[in-house]
Structure 1
Amino acid sequence: MEPTPLSESVASIRARPTRALPSPTNQPTNQSLHSKQSLEAESVLLHPSRHTPARDYSPKSTAQPLFDLCPVITPHHLPSTVPLPSPFPPSIALRSARRPPRAFFMSRERRLPLVLALAAAVVGVLAVASPRAEAELQVGFYNATCPIAEGVVFAEMHAILHEDPTLAPSLLRMHYHDCFVQGCDGSIMLRSRRGTAERDATPNRSMRGYDAIERIKARLETLCPLTVSCADIIAMAARDAVYLSKGPWYGVETGRRDGNVTVAEYAENDLAPPDSNIVDVKTFFSVKSLTAKDIVVLFGSHSIGTSHCEAFRKRLYNFTGAMDQDPSLDARYARQLRKLCPRRGGGRGRRAKVPMDPGSGFTFDLSYYRHVLATGGLFQSDGSLLHDPATRGYVERMANASSPDEYYQDFAAAMVKMGRTDVLPDSLGEVRATCGVFVD
C-alpha cells in the first residue's frame, strides 16, 4: 500500500464527518448494578531501588523477567505514596412530589407560571436520571458498579506480563493507537473478515496483546457483566504495563464507551509513521490537541520495547533516495544497527528485533532521552525531537536529570490528556461482552 501524503492525510482527518455509528449489534449493551465482590491478592515487598543497566546496543535476553523486581499487589494495597482513586460521588436520590390539585382549577393567568415551573423541574429530573448526554470521565468511575475493576485488571496484567514481559510495551502502544484513530473507543479490538479493520492496517500489523485484553475482559465479565468497557480496559492495562515496568503509577480516568466502527484507512492516515520529521509529528499530534511538550513526553514510551528492522531500514540505507544514511544518526550506533539489520533484510534481518532503548529496553526510565541525545534514537521520529527547540530542550533536561520525578508527573498528565481524545458519549457508544467482535 502506497503511503498517503501528509497534506492529504491531515486534510482527510479534519474533513472527516462526525461518526454516526450503525444500529447496535446483537451484543447486549445494557448496564446493571452488581453486588460488591472482593479480590484477594498476595502482597509482597516492593521492588528495590531503580537503576539503569550498563549500556549495550545488542538485544537483551528476556530470560530473567522484570517481575523479579516487581510487586505482587493490587492497587488497593499500594504504598501510601501512590495516589489512589477518589471515592465515587454518592448517587443522587430523586424524590417524587405530588402535583397540587388546585392547579387544575386555577385560572390560565395563575396556572401558566406553575406549569412552566413544573416543566423546568421535570427537565432537571430527566437530566439527572437519564444516561449521560456526553462523556464524563473520572477516576473511580466504576466504584459504584464494579469496585474491583481496577484490581482485577492489575492482577490479570501482573499474571500476563509475568508470562510474557515483552507484552508491556505493546499494550502501552495499543492505547496510543486506539486513541489516535477515532478516539479512545476500543475500536482497535474490532475484527473484519474482509481485512478492513484498524488492526489490519499497516501500523497495527505488528501489534500484540489483543488476547491479553480479551483475557481481562472475560474475567471482568464473570464478575461485573456488561459494565467495564474495552476502551477503559485498554487504558488501565497501559497504565499497569508502565507501572510493572518500574514506571509511575497514576490515576486513570474511566467511563469511556466502546465504538463499533473500525476502518483500516483511518489508522493509515492518523498515526505518524516512524520516519516522520518533527514538522510531520507536530501536525499529527496537533490534530489531537496535543502540544510539543506532550509529544516529547509521550515519545518517552519508547523507553520500553523493540522494533522490527523495516521501521528504520530506510534511515540506514536510503535516507534521501540516494542510497545514503541519515547524517544525524550516530556512526557507532549505525554500525550496530547495520549488523542487526542487513541491507537485503532476509533471514536473520527479517526476524530481528532491535531494542528502542538499548541496555534498558524493559525498564521505564529516563534512559531513552539519554539515548536520543547521544545517538539520535532508533527512529527518524525519535531523532526529530532534537530538531525543534522546545522538544530538544526537554530531551536535554531529562537526559541530565538526577531523578525521574518530573518526567513521571509529566507522563501521567500527558497520558490522561491523550486518554480524553474524542471519547464517545452514551448515545453513540456501548459496553459489549466481547471486545474483538466481527463487524462484517
Structure 2
Amino acid sequence: MDRYFVVMKLRKRSKCVLAAGLLFLLTATVGKCQVLRTDFYSSTCPTLNTIVATTIASHLSKDITSGAPLLRMFFHDCFVQGCDGSVLIDSTANNTAEKNAEPNQTLRQFNIIDEIKAQLEKACPRVVSCADIIALAAREAVVQSGGPSWNVELGRRDGRISRASDALTLLPPTRSDSQSLIDDFETIGLSVQDLVTLSGAHTIGRAHCFATVRRYIGFNSTNGIDPTLNLTYALQLRRLCPLPINMQARVALDPVTPNLFDTQYYRDLLVNKGIFTSDSTLASDERSLVFVREYAANQSSFFEQFPLAMIRLGQVGVKTGASGEIRKKCRVVNKL
C-alpha cells in the first residue's frame, strides 16, 4: 500500500474519533466508530493502571533509561497503521514486520510490554489490548520521569498487519527539515504546535551514536561539523562518540537533564544543541520557533499542552469495536 492510501486511511479514522467527541457531530458518527474512553476498563480490568505503573517503576529503579523508549514506542506505533500495537509484532518467515524496519531497529524495552501483558492476562484474560498498554506505558514513562499526568483514552484494539515497508515510508526521518515534519504531522491530523510539543519527548532518553554522527563527524564543511550545530556541543559529541563508532554507544538527547522530563530540550534548541536535524530545524522555522520559545520560557505551558498532544496522537488510526483483536501475546497475532 503506498503512502497516500495509508495516510488517507489514518486521517479518516482519526477524524472519526475526533468528530465523535464533539456534541454537534455525535449523531453523525454513531455507528461509524466507537469513542475511546478513559474508563474503558474500569469494570473489566480495574487493576490495569496499577499493574502498568508498578511494572514500569520496577524497571526504572534498575535502569533510569527504561522509560524513554516506551514513549518513543508509542510515537512509532501511532505513525504507522495508527495506534494499534502493530509495532510490537515479530517478523515471520513470510513477513518483515515494522520493528525490523531501519527506523525501528533501535527501539527497546519490548520486554516491558511483554511483562505487563503477561500480568494482565492473569488478572483479566483477553481484555486489554497491546495498543492500550503502549499508550499507558508512555504516560507512565512521562509521569515517573517528573512530567505531567493525564487520563489516557482507552478502548483501542490491536491490528493484525505489520509491515516494515510501511514504517520505512511513514515514520519521519531524523534528517527531516521543518517543512517535511509539518507535512508528515499534518497528514495524520496533527498541527505545528503538536509537532513541537511531541518533539519535547526528547527531553528524556538517549540516541545511538551512529544515528547522530553525521552531524559532527564527516559533515560537508571545513571542520566536518554541521554549521547549524553549536560548536562546543559538537566537539563534546565527538568525545562521547569517537571513531570508530561503537554501534551500541548512546548519547543523551538532552545533555543537561537527560533523565528529567522538563523543558531543557527547548532551551537547548535555542542555543543550537538539537542533536538531530529534526530537532534543530524546529528553531529555524518561525512557524515552530514560536512554540519552542514559549515552552523554553514557560514549563507550565508545556506541561499543559503535552498531555493534550499525546491524547490527539493516541486517536490516530485507532481500531475499535469489531475492528482488530485483543492479542493474547503482543508479539504474535491471534490465530484465526
Same topology, TM > 0.5:
yes
Corresponding residue to 1:231 among 131, 136, 142: 131
1-side partners of 2:54 and 2:241: how far apart?
A: 37
- Residue 409, structure 1, aligned to residue 304, structure 2: yes
Question: Structure 1 378/436 Cα, relative in aligned 2: closer, same or farther at 3 Å?
Answer: same
Give the alignment of 1:89-104 within 5 angstroms: none
1-side partners of 2:75 and 2:234: how far apart?
A: 28
1-side partners of 2:83 and 2:223: how far apart?
A: 40
- Residue 158, structure 1, aligned to residue 57, structure 2: yes
- Contact 1:261–1:439 at 8 Å: present in 2 too? no
Letter of the 1:387 partner, please give it: S
- Residue 200, structure 1, aligned to residue 100, structure 2: yes
- Contact 1:133–1:425 at 8 Å: present in 2 too? no
State the aligned residue count: 315
**Hey, what does 1:266 align to over in structure 2?**
166
**Hey, what does 1:358 align to over in structure 2?**
255
- Residue 217, structure 1, aligned to residue 117, structure 2: yes
Question: Structure 1 422/321 Cα, relative in aligned 2: closer, same or farther at 3 Å?
Answer: farther
Residue deviations 1:126-145 (CA, integer Å, cap 9, x gap): xx9xxx75232011111121
Query: Structure 1 vs Structure 2: percent identity of aligned residues?
Result: 39
Letter of the 2:46 partner, please give it: P
Superposition TM-score, scaled by structure 1 size: 0.68
**Hey, what does 1:418 align to over in structure 2?**
313
Residue deviations 1:331-385 (CA, integer Å, cap 9, x gap): 111111112223x434xx4332110001210100011111111123111111000
Letter of the 1:222 partner, please give it: K
Higher mean C-alpha displacement, 410-419 vs 319-328: 319-328
Superposition TM-score, scaled by structure 2 size: 0.88
**Hey, what does 2:38 align to over in structure 1?**
139
Higher mean C-alpha displacement, 298-307 vs 151-160: 151-160
- Contact 1:191–1:439 at 8 Å: present in 2 too? no
Letter of the 2:267 partner, please give it: R
**Hey, what does 1:189 align to over in structure 2?**
88
1-side partners of 2:269 and 2:108: how far apart?
A: 25
**Hey, what does 1:400 align to over in structure 2?**
297
**Hey, what does 1:173 align to over in structure 2?**
72
Question: Structure 1 264/323 Cα, relative in aligned 2: closer, same or farther at 3 Å?
Answer: farther
Structure with greater helix share of residues: 2
- Cα RMSD, aligned residues only: 2.3
- Contact 1:282–1:291 at 8 Å: present in 2 too? yes
Give the alignment of 1:282-297 within 5 angstroms: 282-297=182-197
Unaligned residue ranges in structure 2 (runs of 5+): 10-29
- Contact 2:57–2:144 at 8 Å: present in 1 too? yes
- Contact 2:198–2:309 at 8 Å: present in 1 too? yes
Letter of the 2:91 partner, please give it: S
Letter of the 1:307 partner, please give it: A
Distance apart, 1:321 and its partner CA: 8.5
Unaligned residue ranges in structure 1 (runs of 5+): 1-10, 20-127
- SS of 2:271 mapped into structure 1: helix
Letter of the 2:71 partner, please give it: L
Distance apart, 1:317 and its partner CA: 3.0
Pick the structure with greater CA Rg: 1
- SS of 1:354 mapped into structure 2: strand
Letter of the 2:67 partner, please give it: A
Question: Structure 1 321/180 Cα, relative in aligned 2: closer, same or farther at 3 Å?
Answer: farther
Distance apart, 1:203 and its partner CA: 1.0
Question: Structure 1 275/430 Cα, relative in aligned 2: closer, same or farther at 3 Å?
Answer: same
- Residue 12, structure 1, aligned to residue 5, structure 2: no
